[in-house]
């Protein structure tokens, strides 16, 4: 390893999924020891029973493979955030520029599922932090958001989990997470209100305690 490569390596910090998730408020899960393939097989069986109970004809060409499709989607796609092995690789670098102003990642896509009715929650997140000793690659913020969104969720917990992860990884309390989303448990059932959305914020450090910093972040979010 050259001196340059060694110097670069020493300025990088890589975190394991385990140490990050230990510092994030938990999702209510209970280990069942099943592999991914076993989960798919069990879910497919249960979903087949649901479809039959609803009176659907599973011998129809359009429906016959639906239980397996749903099981694969649940395990490998929309709920893959339940498996810590899927947490993105996270490396931060030393803030050698001494940058001390807020960094804002705007309009981060949020697609998750309500844990009460298992229907879609879809919206945007505005995420900011003020660096101290560490900065993070911008795409990693989107990947962290996506990981926690790929679980059955409530929006309040999702907002906090993103904030918890970034506060630990970046070693700063100056974190802001704002999510505005539409809930299809409100749109497609119950009150059937297609116009409303829900906003949540997790403001920490200067974003919570300094009025000017909070106002600047909120102004950027509104633009």
Q: If you write DSSP's letter for every residue of 40-101 in order, what string do you get?
A: HHHHHHHHHHHHHHTT--TTSTTTTTHHHHHHHHIIIIITGGGSGGGSPPEEEEE-TT---S
Of the candidates 68, 80, 115, 122, the residue annotated as catalytic is 115
Of the candidates 155, 161, 201, 221, the residue annotated as catalytic is 155
Task: Verify whether residue 114 is a known catalytic residue.
Answer: yes
Task: Verify whether residue 221 is a known catalytic residue.
Answer: no
Separation of alpha carbons 156 and 152, rounded Å: 12
Separation of alpha carbons 64 and 60, rounded Å: 6
Task: Verify whether residue 12 is a known catalytic residue.
Answer: no
> What is the dihedral sign for C-alpha 68, 69, 70, 75?
positive
Task: Verify whether residue 9 is a known catalytic residue.
Answer: no
Of the candidates 40, 183, 201, 221, the residue annotated as catalytic is 183
Separation of alpha carbons 98 and 161, rounded Å: 27
Residue 135: burial class (beta carbons within 10 Å; 0-12, 13-18, 19+):
middle
132 in Cβ contact with 172 (< 8 Å): yes
Task: Verify whether residue 116 is a known catalytic residue.
Answer: yes
Cα 108 to chain centroid, rounded: 10
Of the candidates 19, 37, 38, 116, the residue annotated as catalytic is 116
Other C-beta atoms closer than 10 Å to the C-beta of 117 total 15
Of the candidates 68, 117, 122, 216, the residue annotated as catalytic is 117
Separation of alpha carbons 202 and 128, rounded Å: 10
Positions marked catalytic: 114-117, 155, 183, 185
């Amino acid at each position: 390893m050259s001196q340059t490569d060694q110097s670069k390596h020493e300025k990088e910090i890589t975190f394991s999924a385990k140490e990050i998730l230990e510092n994030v408020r938990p999702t209510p899960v209970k280990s069942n020891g099943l592999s991914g393939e076993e989960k798919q097989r069990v879910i497919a069986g249960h979903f087949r029973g649901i479809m039959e109970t609803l009176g659907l004809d599973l011998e129809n060409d359009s429906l016959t493979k639906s239980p397996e499709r749903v099981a694969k989607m649940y395990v490998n796609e929309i709920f893959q955030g339940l498996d810590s092995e899927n947490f993105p690789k996270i490396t931060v670098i030393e803030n050698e520029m001494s940058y001390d102003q807020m960094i804002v990642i705007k309009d981060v896509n949020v697609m998750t599922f309500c844990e009460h009715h298992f229907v879609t929650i879809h919206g945007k997140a505005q995420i900011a932090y003020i660096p101290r000793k560490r900065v993070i690659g911008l795409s990693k913020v989107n990947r962290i958001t996506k990981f926690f969104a790929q679980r059955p969720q409530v929006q309040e917990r999702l907002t906090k989990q993103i904030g918890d992860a970034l506060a630990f990884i970046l070693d700063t309390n100056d974190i802001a997470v704002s999510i505005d989303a539409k809930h299809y448990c409100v749109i497609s059932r119950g009150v059937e209100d297609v116009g409303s959305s829900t906003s949540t914020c997790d403001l920490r450090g200067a974003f919570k305690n300094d009025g000017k910093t909070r106002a600047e972040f909120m102004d950027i979010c509104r633009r």
